[in-house]
Amino acid sequence: MRTVRLPDGEEVPVLGQGTWFMGESPAERAAEVRALCHGLDLGMTLIDTAEMYGEGGAEEVVGEAIRGRREEVFLVSKVYPHNASRTGAIAACERSLKRLGTDRIDLYLLHWRGRHPLAETVAAFERLKRDGKIRHWGMSNLDADELEELWAVPDGSSCAADQVLYNLARRGIEWDLLPWCRERGVPVMAYSPIEQARLPTDGILAEIGRCHGRSAFQVALAWVLSRPGVIAIPKASRIEHVTANRAALDLVLRPEDLAALDRAFPPPTRKQPLAML
C-alpha cells in the first residue's frame, strides 16, 4: 500500500474507503460491514465517514467493522457545519465517538463551511486534540482562498488535510487548490474519485482499460491515485467492488495513457468554482 504523508510526517494509505450512503438501510448493513472488513484485509485501512452519512448510521456501520481492529485503522469523520461552534463541535465529536465505538478519531473534518467562524471551529478542534479525542483535524470543501483565510486564524495552519471532489471530470482544483496544498504539504482527499460511477464507460477509459485488462472505472481511479499528494476514498458496499478498487492501485498508467486522458478530460485553463456534490 502506497502512502501519503501528513504535515506532521505521519503516513496514511493513499487508497482508503468511503462510506457516503452507507448506514441508510438495515437490510444492507451486513454487506456494508463485510465490504469494509474486506478492505481492511487488503490494506485499505483509512476509512472516511461523517455524522451526516445516514444521520450517524454510517458511523455505526464503521464502528461494527472496526470492532477488535481499531489499531489497524486511520479513522476519519466529519462534523456538520451547524454543529461546528466552539462547544457544538465538541458535543458532536462525542456523539460520533460513541457511534464509532472508539475513544479517538484520527482525522476530524469540518464537512463544509457554515455560519460559525472558522476561528471557533479551529478552537474546538484544538481543544479536542488536547483532550485526546482527535489526533488531527482538517477541512472539507474549502477552496484555496478559504484555506488562506483559515491559515490567518490562530492555529489555522495546523490543518492536516482538505477533502474535496476530485476526479477526471472535476479537475478544477488543479488550477490553484492542489498546488496550494502541495506547497504546504497538506494532502488532498478526493471524494467521489470515479464521480459515483457516472464517468463514461466507453471511449478512452474503456480503450485504456482494455490495454491493461482493467475496467474503465479502475482506469479512472488509477488516474486519481497517480496524482502526488492525493488520497482517494471510493465507496464500495460490495466485496467485489472493494477488490476492484484495490486492484486499481496496482495499475500503472503509461505516459501515452495520461496524455490521452488529458485530451479527453482537459485540465483547467482558469480558476473555477470549487465543485461539490
Q: Is 53 a catalytic residue?
A: yes
Distance of alpha carbon 39 from alpha carbon 31, whole angstroms? 12
- What was the pLDDT predicted at 125? 98
SS3 content of the chain, % helix, strand, coil (to 5): 45, 15, 40
**From the candidates 53, 108, 166, 191, which is the catalytic residue?**
53
**pLDDT over 90 at 201, yes or no:** no
User: Strands of 162-165's sheet, edge to edge?
Assistant: 46-48, 74-79, 105-110, 134-140, 162-165, 188-191, 230-232
Q: What are phi and psi for residue 170, nearest 5 degrees?
A: -135, 70
Mean local confidence (pLDDT), 59-63: 98
- CB-count exposure of residue 255 (10 Å: 0-12, 13-18, 19+): exposed
N- to C-terminal Cα distance for the chain? 28
DSSP 267: P
Mean local confidence (pLDDT), 8-34: 97
Hunting for cell 484544538 — which residue is that?
126
pLDDT over 90, % of the chain: 99
For 75, 110, 133, the CA distances from 103, given in Å and listed in that order, are 11, 19, 6
Fold held by 11-198+229-242: TIM Barrel (3.20.20)
Distance of alpha carbon 186 from alpha carbon 93, whole angstroms? 23
Mean local confidence (pLDDT), 85-92: 98
Q: What is the 3-state secondary structure (H, E, C) of 13-44?
A: ECECEECCCCCCCHHHHHHHHHHHHHHHHCCC
Tens of pLDDT, residue by residue over 225-255, are 999 999 999 999 999 999 999 999 999 999 9
Tens of pLDDT, residue by residue over 125-156, are 999 999 999 999 999 999 999 999 999 999 99
The domain segmentation of the chain, as residue ranges, is 11-198+229-242
Mean local confidence (pLDDT), 98-123: 98
**pLDDT over 90 at 256, yes or no:** yes
Hunting for cell 504546504 — which residue is that?
184
